[in-house]
Each structure stands twice: as C-alpha cells, then as structure tokens.
Structure 1
Amino acid sequence: MSPSNTQLPPRKRAGVNKQPNVVKSKNKKHKKKKSPFKSFLKFLLIVIILAILAVAVYVGSMALKVDNTILDTGNDNQVAPEASAKIKPVTMLLLGTDYRPKTGTHLTDVMMVAAFNPETKSATVVSIPRDTRIDLDGYKVRKANAYYPNFLDVASDSGIPALDEMKVMFAKYMDIPIDYAMVINFQGFSDVVDALGGVNVNISMDMCYKDNADGTDIDLTEGPAKLDGEDALGYVRYRKSSSGCKPRTKESDDFSRNERQNEVLHSLIDQMQTFSGVTKLGKVIDAVDENMEIDMEQAQLKNMIATYWNISKDNVKFMPVTGNWKSPYVYLDDEVVDKAKQALKDEIAGNSLSTLSSSEESEAINP
C-alpha cells in the first residue's frame, strides 16, 4: 500500500503513545448514529401506507363488483330523489324458496315482511310461518308457502309477474304498502353461509332427517356449533325425523323454525360486519347474484347497500308471529298479527326504537 495515502489513520506501533486529541479533517462531515426506534417508526409508517393503499384498492374493486352485480340483478328504472332509500323508509317482502336443482320446486318456506328506516338506521322483520292459513278476499284459501309457485304457474297467462302478485297479496294481508319483493333460493342461502366461512348457532336439540330423493341429510347435535352452508340450511328447515334416523329426534314446529331463521340471520349480520366478513364480500355477492331475483331499481339497490350495510344487529327486530297448529294449517292469533302489523307501521313512521321498550318487544314476540 502506498505510504502517501494520508486518508488512513496512523498505524499504531508498539511503544508509541496514542495522541490524546486527534484533529479531524475539516472537509469530512460528522455522521450521526441512526436511532433504531426512528428506523422502526419509518418502517411502520411504510407498512401503514401500504395497508391503506391495499384497503383503498380493495374497496374500489368491491364497489366495482357491486356495480356489476347490480346491473345484472335490479332493473334500470329511475328512482326519484325523494324516493331514495337513503331518505325514505322502504318495505320489502323477502322470500326463501325450497328450489334446488334436485327438486325444481318453488315453495316459499321462508316468508318475511321487512320495514327499513334510514333516519333511525333500523329495521323490523316479521316472519310468517310457512303453513299459515291465509283467507283473503280475491284469493283461494291456501297455505302461505303455496301462493308463489301458483303465481309462477299462471304468470305466462296472466302477464303478471309472481313477485308482483305476492307483493299485492302480502300488502293486503299485513295492511301496509310493500315497495319491493325479493326471492332467494335455498342454494343461495347455503352458498352465502359458505362464502362467510360458516355461521355460529346454538342448536337447541338433536336433529336428524334423511331423504335420498332430494339428498337431504340433516344430522345435528344439541349445543354450540359452527355450521357450513348445507348444515345451516338443514338447521333452519328441520321439521321432523325420518325412518333412516336411529334414534329418531323430536319434531319441530313452524314457530321454532322461524326462531332458528332469526338466529341464523342475526349471526350472519355479525359475520358480515367483521373484518373477515368484509374481505369475503365478493364471494357473498356472487352467491346472491346467482340465486336471487329482485324487482328493485339498480340505483335503489345501491342506496340500500350504502344506507344499511353496517346496520347494528341491535337495531334489527325480528318478530315471528305465533298461533295454533291444526293439521294441515297454522292458525295465527289475531292479537299477535295485529302487534306485528303495528310494529311495521311504527318502523315506517320512525317510532320503532323510541316507543318500544324491551318488555313490549318481549310481549310482542311471546304473548
């Protein structure tokens, strides 16, 4: 190495004392030592920025997906500004049919009338037992779940869509105007549960039913459980045991089924509003899109999603109406039906949360 290199420090030789003060070159800047804590903060800031960008991209892609789904689902009619679900209460008839590829039937085993209020950010949902005897002027006496398939059968001749017929009939039955109707088949229900990774319930009793004809295989054990889509469907549908079950399990009436439907819906609301649920929104939209029919305008669907996406489950009141079973019908108690009608009217008027105490709600559900 050349001895003329003056940038190297003097070599330490034995017997020579090191100078106590070394004068540094004026041209060389003093380098500050990096703080490990500040470096960590910078790294954390980068991670946060990347996370925000990822969320923004995800939300944007979900908004696009919702738009594309709505274009395939709702109709393209215009919505007047004063009729927007963001500012006006909306009523809906919600139907769940037993249609599956293996059965081809369209009985509405789930029937709910719902009222939504944007001012109180709340909803009231009344469940109608499937075997309810309905006797209305202008309609043949039938079980409630038999009207929709009948309307489907005559739609081509009458020119009136089955959903329109159902809205008119249930508006008369519940004594409120019904704005929209939606029907989703059981396959869609099962797919939504699977899209969310299952649903948490507390099974009230053992349930067993097997039917090789349509592939039904219900085998549930009492106690807390997380059910996949197929088992959740069996849970809400279970009525009685079959000969293929040993031992046979207890029967379940319409009222217990409605309670289980409400339990599952509450649990699904919880699932949807977790971070995990939000990240699975795309799969949920796909499941709904393929198995749902609705007569709502596309713009109104967007208004509903924007207004009620994060609705609190505490602001969703389920009111299963009760009565007496006398084969082959359920005869509803008039007093209970009147309370259900009034609860829907209160929701529309914006009085639901402020006027119903917890004791009144309990009385309405269990008179």
Structure 2
Amino acid sequence: MSGAGQHRRDHPPGSGLSERARSRRVRRFYLLLAASTLVPGLGLIPSRRRTGRVILGAFVVGLVGVVAYALAKGVTASVLRVGVSREALAWVVPALLVGAAAWVYGIVMTARDNLPREVVGRRRVAMLAVASLAVLLVAAPAAQATRYALIQRSLIADVFSAIRPDGAAAPGEGEDPWADVDHVNVLLVGSDAGPGRTGVRPDSTMVASIDTDTGRTVLFGIPRNLQNIPFGSDSPLRAIYPDGYSCGSECLFEYVWTLGTEHADLFPGDASPGLTVTKDAASQVLGLKIDYSTIIDLKGFTELVDAMGGVEIDVKERVCIGCKVEGGVVVGTTGYIEPGVQRLDGFHALWYSRSRADSRDGDFSRMRRQRCMVGALINQVNPVEMLRRYPALAAVLRDNVAVDIPQADLPAWAMLVERIQDGGAIKSLPLTNRNIDVTAPDYAAIHQMVREAVDPSLRPPAPSTSTTTTTPSPSDPSSSPTTEEPTDELSDITATC
C-alpha cells in the first residue's frame, strides 16, 4: 500500500502520457496563453467558449469604436480632446479598469484551464512564471494609464478656470468651434513671485495672438521698463491717471500689477486686480483685446525645465549668474553661462532668461533670450519623453501655473493647438529700444506694427531690389539689415538662438 501511495505522489494523473504528448500540451498552454495576452479572451474560447467570446466581442467592439473616432477626428485631435475633457476622462478611468480586469481574467482562466497537471518541477514553475508575466504585461500599463488619467483629470480642475473671463473670445459649437472667432489673444506672464519677494511683478510679459483659422501665431514681447502706460476707458485707474501711468522711471510696465493690487478697492469682487490691470495695460499697449492669461512663477519655471529634462540652447553671449547692478556696478556674480550649444537645467535656464546686469542691451538682451527660451522649449517637446515625465510635469503645473481658460472650452483649445502645430513656425515681435522709444512710446505706431504683424496683408510691399538704401521696418522680416547686431523684427521665434 505504501509503495502505491508513494507512486501516486511522485507521478500525478496523466504521467503515463508520452513525453511527446506532454510537450504538445505544454506548447498548447503557451500558445493559448499568448493568444489571451495579445487579444483579450481569444485563448479562452477552446475551454470556455461563451466567456471567451464575450470578452473578445467586447474588445472588438471597443477597438472598432476607438478606431472609428480616431479616423473621424484625427489621431492627434482625438487624444487631445479626450485628454482635456474631465467628462471624457471620467469615462476613461472605469473603462480602463473594467477592460483590464476582463483581460486579466481571460489570461488567468486560460492558464488555469490549460496548465497540464502532469507537468511538475521546474517546468511547471516556469509555466506559472510566464502566466504571471502575461498578467503583469496587461495590468501594469492599465494601472499606469489609469493613474495618468486620474492625474490629468485632477490637473484640469486645479489649473484651469471654471468660468470664462468677461468679454473673452469664446468658441462655439459645431464642427469648427472657432468659425466665428478671427483671433484669440493670450497674455503670458512670468511672475517674479517667490520666497523673499513681496507681491507680484511681471518679470516677463508676452502676448500670443493666434489666428484661429490657420493657427498662425505671433508672440509680442512687452518690455518691463516701458513708460507712459495707458489704461482703457472703462478702467477705474483712468480717473487717477487720465494721461496714462506716467511719472518717469517710477511708473514702469512692471509695476502695473502692484498698482492694481494697491487700488484693489476700485475693483470690488475681483480676486486678482493686479492681473486685471496688467491685462488692460497690455491691451492698450498693443492695441489688442486680451482674452485669456497664463501665469507661471520663477520657481515653477525652474521646476518645469527640470521636469522636462533640461533645454538645449545655443548661447550667443556670456550671461552672468547671481548678478545685479548697484550704483552702476555689476555685483554679486557667482558664475557664468558661457557661449555655445549646451543643455541647461532649470537653475541655469532661469538665469539665462532673467539675467540683464551684464548684458549688452540690458532688458532688451534679456527679452531676446526669453523668446529664444520659449522657442527652444516648444521645439524640444518630445511626446514620448513628456509622457514618461508626466507625473512630475503635472505636479509643477498644478503648483505653479494658473490659466483662466475655462475647463469646458479645453476640447476647442485642443483643436486650436493642433492648428498652431500645423500652421508653421511661431513668429515673434518684441518691443525694444531698436524699434520703439520705451521712455516716450508712440502707441499709434506700435499699434500699426502689431496690426501688420498679425495680418500680413496690411504690410507695405517690400522694396525693390534696385533700391540702394532702406530703413528696415520692424514688422518686415525681409528688410533685415546686413549686420551682426541683433535686430528686433518680426521673425521666427527661434531666430535669436
């Protein structure tokens, strides 16, 4: 009896099968397991026909639906629209969880139904290990995708506004939500708010004017030391400064945010009078209606560049770090960013963008470097790399960026972003001492420059080649003088890099 019992323990049922038959069952196990791993439910059909067909059928229906939507809207547009819609993401999360659970169930049941009982020892351990790996190959990406979807849904709620700013250009319904909007203008503010600083001063101020039909975009840079800032007729500050914010070097564009904060009582119910005044001032300077705004602080910029893995810049001139001007002398320098192509981390990218103490043109050199930085960041965005770094990027955006574009409009903005990407290079026109007088600006002339930059049809015809001398127009890139000195004309955003 004991001998028979020992025989049963060492030789499980089916051990009488030939080695060839056992090998055939092992191959069948791996084949069906691979089928269920690659296509949900496929390998389960031989052992559990109804269950396998239900899982497979649900997968096919879902796949056909996704492909049809992508073909109808375009792959990029489809991903963008789903990714910026909290409602769509609310469906994506449970769909991912249910789909992954069904897929994993099919793999587990396929392995259980087809694991040969007569196979023991290392061979059996190897089969179970492969089955576990198959489960992991499905569960891990599904878990990561669910995590990203939850992060994105939370990010939309934290960063973007719930309501649209008063008077802002609004997308409509239908196939083209921007059909009734010619241009939309967005104020971009780099704020110097941070530890050890009181209040907010725009360290960098730009306005992006976007042609909603073509995606053509022009970026205007407003100098921080611009004087005689006008206010709109409906601004409460117009009564205090009827001739503009004009008191010499004490009344610069960089101070209008603080001015709004100091007169918060004139803006009852306004959560950010500083931003309101800055938007109005930028609108009056450029002659453009400002629709929306985006604000990022210095800490956020540093962390953003680090989260992106740095940014590659062709540094044209030596840039000092830690430097400032006191009594006409540059002090505090702790190092330099040397000329040449190099990858800058967040700390050095910030100093490259902000340093002005030791620059040839001070603030204006800095403005050129800032638009160079914007262009470099845009051009170096790698979707695969950004996806890998997404949690860190989302954390930076949540903590350091504010955007007043309403959440409900984000799908329309996703379409507009696609048009910008397809519309060619982003153009740039900074206002500097090379094309305006910052101490006594001619705003009528500035408005004309802006109109010509936004609408190419308004530009005067280029001079004939027979003309011997011409005065270069700031809004005409074809008339760039032949000099190595930097020029501030309408040009590709990366022209200064």
**Which TM-score applies when normalising by structure 2?**
0.53
Which moves more between the two structures, 61-70 or 172-181? 61-70
Q: CA deviation at 1:74?
A: 2.6
Paired residue for 1:300, among 385, 409, 420?
A: 409
Q: CA deviation at 1:305?
A: 4.2
Matched, 1:66 2:189: no
Contact 2:229-2:252 at 8 Å conserved across structures: no
Paired residue for 1:318, among 405, 412, 428?
A: 428
Paired residue for 2:387, among 278, 291, 294?
A: 278
Q: Deviations over 1:238-260 (max 9, x none)?
A: 1114xxxxxxxx54422221221
Whole-Å separation in 2 of the counterparts to 1:119 and 1:327 = 34
Q: CA deviation at 1:175?
A: 1.7
Contact 1:126-1:319 at 8 Å conserved across structures: yes
Whole-Å separation in 1 of the counterparts to 2:440 and 2:342 = 30
Do the aligned partners of residues 78 and 325 (structure 1) sit closer, same or farther apart at CA in structure 2, a change above 3 Å counting? closer
The equivalent residue for 1:22 is none
Contact 2:260-2:276 at 8 Å conserved across structures: no
Contact 1:70-1:298 at 8 Å conserved across structures: yes
Q: Deviations over 1:145-199 (max 9, x none)?
A: 1111221222255324222222223222222221112222111111110110111
Paired residue for 2:172, among 67, 82, 87?
A: 82
Contact 1:195-1:280 at 8 Å conserved across structures: yes
Matched, 1:163 2:275: yes
Whole-Å separation in 1 of the counterparts to 2:416 and 2:299 = 27
Contact 1:218-1:234 at 8 Å conserved across structures: no
Do the aligned partners of residues 169 and 146 (structure 1) sit closer, same or farther apart at CA in structure 2, a change above 3 Å counting? same
Paired residue for 2:302, among 181, 187, 190?
A: 190
Paired residue for 1:339, among 407, 428, 449?
A: 449
Whole-Å separation in 2 of the counterparts to 1:110 and 1:124 = 16
Matched, 1:97 2:191: yes
Whole-Å separation in 2 of the counterparts to 1:237 and 1:332 = 27
Partner secondary structure for residue 277 of structure 2? helix
The equivalent residue for 2:214 is 120
Contact 2:260-2:277 at 8 Å conserved across structures: yes
Do the aligned partners of residues 328 and 102 (structure 1) sit closer, same or farther apart at CA in structure 2, a change above 3 Å counting? farther
Contact 1:321-1:340 at 8 Å conserved across structures: no
Across the aligned residues of Structure 1 and Structure 2, the Cα RMSD in angstroms comes to: 4.5
Contact 1:131-1:330 at 8 Å conserved across structures: no
Contact 2:221-2:431 at 8 Å conserved across structures: yes
Do the aligned partners of residues 310 and 156 (structure 1) sit closer, same or farther apart at CA in structure 2, a change above 3 Å counting? same
Do the aligned partners of residues 234 and 175 (structure 1) sit closer, same or farther apart at CA in structure 2, a change above 3 Å counting? same
The equivalent residue for 1:366 is 489
Whole-Å separation in 1 of the counterparts to 2:345 and 2:308 = 9
Q: CA deviation at 1:117?
A: 3.3
Whole-Å separation in 2 of the counterparts to 1:362 and 1:53 = 56
Aligned ranges 1:203-242 → 2 under 5 Å: 203-210=315-322, 217=334, 219-241=336-358
Q: CA deviation at 1:69?
A: 1.5
Contact 2:300-2:396 at 8 Å conserved across structures: yes
Q: CA deviation at 1:206?
A: 1.6
Unaligned runs of 5+ in 1: 1-27, 242-249
Higher relative contact order (CA 8 A, sep 6+): 1
Matched, 1:257 2:372: no
Contact 2:261-2:274 at 8 Å conserved across structures: yes
Amino acid at match of 2:288: I
Partner secondary structure for residue 133 of structure 1? coil
Unaligned runs of 5+ in 2: 1-20, 40-132, 232-237, 239-243, 327-331, 463-474, 481-487, 491-497
Whole-Å separation in 2 of the counterparts to 1:164 and 1:269 = 27
Contact 1:131-1:145 at 8 Å conserved across structures: yes
Normalized per residue, the structure richer in strand is 1
Whole-Å separation in 2 of the counterparts to 1:291 and 1:230 = 16
Q: CA deviation at 1:324?
A: 5.3
Paired residue for 1:144, among 253, 265, 268?
A: 253
Matched, 1:132 2:226: yes
Q: CA deviation at 1:268?
A: 0.9
Q: CA deviation at 1:216?
A: 8.2
The equivalent residue for 1:175 is 287
Which moves more between the two structures, 317-326 or 271-280? 317-326
Whole-Å separation in 2 of the counterparts to 1:67 and 1:228 = 29
Contact 2:436-2:442 at 8 Å conserved across structures: no
